[in-house]
């Protein structure tokens, strides 16, 4: 059976985020924040969650390799600080090298029926810099180059998960072709999983783990849906436990998910149930 490999330090898995940083990402989204800033926050929170998930008494265990590629004016690895230019880094390297640590406040249950405002450290690895067009095909090609070596070196690992977050059409060709080549990469445990998150300016009901393309508001949403991997059973069950409606045809596709939901989408997509 595929997608059952145990994620361990000997057989880590990999996440690669492809982030659309084209000029249109400066448009406001939901609460009025720029889309690009919202996505940057989401990526930073996700890297935070992954780091904490892998933290044990002695430090961070390398259960994952992680990378972020931004595409816009250029297509390039997008982690900043010490990790500038690195396309895939171990999660311990990521945890130990945020570009900076900001302090933010959040409200927390104080255990006595009230809410307490607590200060939390908010590490930042990725800053929004939106400009230029949408070279998605080139981003898929860079992901392919980055991960083809990885799968060769990790034949028994849970296959890599690539998460593409975009608001618009590719400007450098038909991404379906490059997406197919990317999904063809595999380990012995299964093919690479490609998830797409569409942040659209077109009005339309928010969708997570869509299982059919009817009802998606535009051609591009449909294209992204069809480029997305069908959820493997383990991830589907995990999503089900979180209360999502999923079917056997559900794909790793989100349309206009608000950013809180986007985090949940990414969290579930990136949390194979067998991480112990």
Partner 1 sequence: MHTSATAWWAPKSGNAASEYEDAYAVKPEALRFAVADGASETSFARQWAELLVEGFVQDAPSPAGLHDFVAPLQAVWAEGQKGKATAWYSERKAADGAFSSLLGVTIEGDRWRAVAVGDSCLFVLRAGKVLRAFPLERAEQFNNRPSLLSSVARANAGVWSQVATVDGDLQEKDRLLLMTDALAQWFLVEAEMGRRPWAALAKVTTPEQFTAYIDCLRAGGALRNDDVTLVSVEVAA
Helix spans in the chain (H): 35-53, 91-96, 136-153, 175-183, 219-227, 233-241, 259-269
Distance CA 92, CA 90 (A): 5
Q: Is 133 in the site for partner 1 (CB under 8 A)?
A: no
Nearest-approach distance from CB 121 to partner 1, in angstroms: 5
Distance CA 234, CA 142 (A): 28
- With H, G, I as helix, E, B as strand and everything else as coil, classify residue 138: helix
Distance CA 167, CA 65 (A): 26
Of 27, 37, 76, 96, which one interacts with partner 1 (CB under 8 A)? 96
Give whichever of 95 and 143 is closer to partner 1, judged by the CB atom. 95
Roughly what angle, to the nearest 10 degrees, separates helices 136-153 and 175-183? 10
Q: Is 117 in the site for partner 1 (CB under 8 A)?
A: no
Task: Answer for the pair 87, 67: CB distance below 8 angstroms, yes or no.
Answer: yes
Nearest-approach distance from CB 98 to partner 1, in angstroms: 8
Of 28, 30, 59, 85, which one interacts with partner 1 (CB under 8 A)? 59
Q: Which of 71, 39, 23, 42 is nearest to 178 (CA)?
A: 71
Of 53, 73, 97, 141, which one interacts with partner 1 (CB under 8 A)? 53
Nearest-approach distance from CB 141 to partner 1, in angstroms: 33
Q: Which of 14, 45, 96 is nearest to 263 (CA)?
A: 45
Q: Is 51 in the site for partner 1 (CB under 8 A)?
A: yes
Of 31, 32, 109, 117, which one interacts with partner 1 (CB under 8 A)? 109
Q: Is 83 in the site for partner 1 (CB under 8 A)?
A: no
Nearest-approach distance from CB 7 to partner 1, in angstroms: 11
| H and E: helices and strands count for the chain | 7, 16
Q: Is 272 in the site for partner 1 (CB under 8 A)?
A: no
Binding residue count for partner 1, defined by CB under 8 A: 26
Q: Is 142 in the site for partner 1 (CB under 8 A)?
A: no
Extract the tokens encoding 21. 């940083």
Residue 40 — φ and ψ, nearest 5°? -60, -45
Distance CA 161, CA 167 (A): 20
Give whichever of 10 and 145 is closer to partner 1, judged by the CB atom. 10
Q: Is 275 in the site for partner 1 (CB under 8 A)?
A: yes
Query: Which region among 78-86, 93-101, 174-182, 251-259 touches partner 1 (by CB under 8 A)?
Result: 93-101
Give whichever of 56 and 248 is closer to partner 1, judged by the CB atom. 56
Interacting residue ranges for partner 1, rule: CB under 8 A: 6, 8-10, 48, 51-53, 55-57, 59-60, 95-96, 98, 101, 109-111, 120-121, 123, 241, 275-276
């Amino acid at each position: 059976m595929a997608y059952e490999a145990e994620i361990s330090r000997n057989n880590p898995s990999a996440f690669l985020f492809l982030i659309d940083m084209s000029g249109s990402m400066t448009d406001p989204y939901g609460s009025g924040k720029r889309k690009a800033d919202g996505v940057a926050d989401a990526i930073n929170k996700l890297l935070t969650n992954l780091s904490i998930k892998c933290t044990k008494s002695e430090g961070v265990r390398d259960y994952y390799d992680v990378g972020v590629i931004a595409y816009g004016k250029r297509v390039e690895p997008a982690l900043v600080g010490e990790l500038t230019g690195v396309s895939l880094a171990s999660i311990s390297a990521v945890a130990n090298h945020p570009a900076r640590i900001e302090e933010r406040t959040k409200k927390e249950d104080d255990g006595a029926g009230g809410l307490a405002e607590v200060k939390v450290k908010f590490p930042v690895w990725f800053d929004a810099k939106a400009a230029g067009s949408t070279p998605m095909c080139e981003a898929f090609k860079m992901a392919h180059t980055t991960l083809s070596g990885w799968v060769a070196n990790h034949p028994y690992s849970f296959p890599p998960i690539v998460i593409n977050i975009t608001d618009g059409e590719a400007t450098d060709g038909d991404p379906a072709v490059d997406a197919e080549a990317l999904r063809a990469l595999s380990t012995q445990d299964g093919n690479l999983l490609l998830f797409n998150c569409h942040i659209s300016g077109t009005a339309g009901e928010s969708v997570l783990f869509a299982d059919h393309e009817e009802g998606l508001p535009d051609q591009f949403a449909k294209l992204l849906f069809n480029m997305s991997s069908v959820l493997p059973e383990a991830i589907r069950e995990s999503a089900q436990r979180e209360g999502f409606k999923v079917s056997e045809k559900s794909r790793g596709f989100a349309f206009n998910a608000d950013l809180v939901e986007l985090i949940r989408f990414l969290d579930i997509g990136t949390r194979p149930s067998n991480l112990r």
